[in-house]
Amino acid sequence: MRPMLATPTRVIPSGDEWIHEVKWDGMRVLADVSEGSLRLTSRTERDVTVAFPDLLPLATEYADMLLDGEIVCLDAGKPSFGLLAERFHVTNARRALVLAERSPVTLMTFDLLRLYGVELLGRAWSDRRATLERLELQGPRWQTPPTFEDGGLLHAATREQGLEGIVSKRTGSIYRPGVRSPDWLKSPHRGSTSVVIGGWRPESTGTVQDRLGAVLVGVPGPGGLRFLGRVGAGLAGRAGDSLRRSLSTIELEESPFVTEIPPEDAMGARWVHPVLVADVESLGLGHQGRLRQPAFKRLREDLSPDDVDDLILGGE
């Protein structure tokens, strides 16, 4: 099962039918506890249990439950996606234990989908949340963060604290697996979005041959990959070198984009299979449908192109 997703919004809803939560900069998972064991699945339905041995004791809390939440790696009290990124692709149990000692994670639980064999998907959010809070999941590596009635104040507070943003939820909404629902609305502080890489260009200057200078990115649309622009900022140093190595293994002879690439962007471009997802920050879209002043932020190994929506406001 895939988790329910939030729809981007620029207007924070208000009123008694809405509640608000902190939006965590982490990895979305469903945590399935059954018969004394824990199974963690990512947003792409990948089993990531082995990567997080520090969460295994959660299986001793209750005999049967299915939780929705976000795994975060806290650094000085704030989520660090960089520290977390070292962990979520690990498949070796011994390596995972070493990383758990060095960079332990915390599971922020915010929804309850099953308890003692009873499915709760069709119940209102308010009912599910009340049941979740009665479980009192406040362990050393997991917690249930509070909710807030005033979305505007929470949005301002999270901006001041350097957090990612907020999620607003309609209290009467049911849980719809895999659906990006208007009953959940996300308001990120960063102008970031997830995009698919379809090509790259080498640096035009310098002495290192084939060093990564920019990536060409887009979003899936009805006819295929739609071009959004060229991203060069943020690719210096190890981030660019690592991405360049990944791109060398997925080369493609022809452009994967269905829209025309401007000559100034296509010049010297090398095409790749559109399988890598990245987060970029920008000032939104310009009048030609291109990202304004985009900057590469990170590769999203926890997402696939199927998870990227034709929406230019915030990632999930």
**Per-residue pLDDT band at 314 (split at 50, 70, 90):** very low
| Averaged pLDDT of the chain | 90
Alpha-carbon gap, residue 271 to 250, rounded angstroms: 9
Mean pLDDT calculated for residue range 117-142: 97
Contact between 226 and 250 (Cβ < 8 Å): no
pLDDT tens for 170-216 read 999 999 999 999 999 999 886 678 899 999 999 865 545 578 999 99
CA-closest candidate to residue 134, choices 160, 116, 158? 116
CATH superfamily of 192-307: Nucleic acid-binding proteins (2.40.50.140)
Continuous H helices in the chain: 81-85, 93-102, 125-135, 151-160, 238-247, 263-266
Q: Is residue 91's pLDDT more than 60? A: yes
Any idea what DSSP says for residue 306? G
pLDDT for res 269:
94
- Supply the pLDDT for residue 316: 47
| CATH number assigned to the domain with residue range 5-188, chosen from the 4 options 3.30.470.30, 3.40.50.300, 1.20.58.410, 3.90.1640.10 | 3.30.470.30
Q: Provide, rounded to the nearest whole percent, the portion of the chain with pLDDT above 70.
A: 95
pLDDT tens digits for range 103-125: 999 999 999 999 999 999 999 99
Residue 125: how many other CB atoms lie within 10 Å: 20
Mean pLDDT of 225-229: 94
Helix (H) or strand (E) holding 108: strand 106-115
Is 78 tagged catalytic? no
At residue 208, the pLDDT reads 52
Domain ranges of the chain: 5-188, 192-307
Residue of 23, 169, 186, 297 with catalytic role: 23
Highest mean pLDDT (candidates 9-13, 39-43, 305-309): 39-43
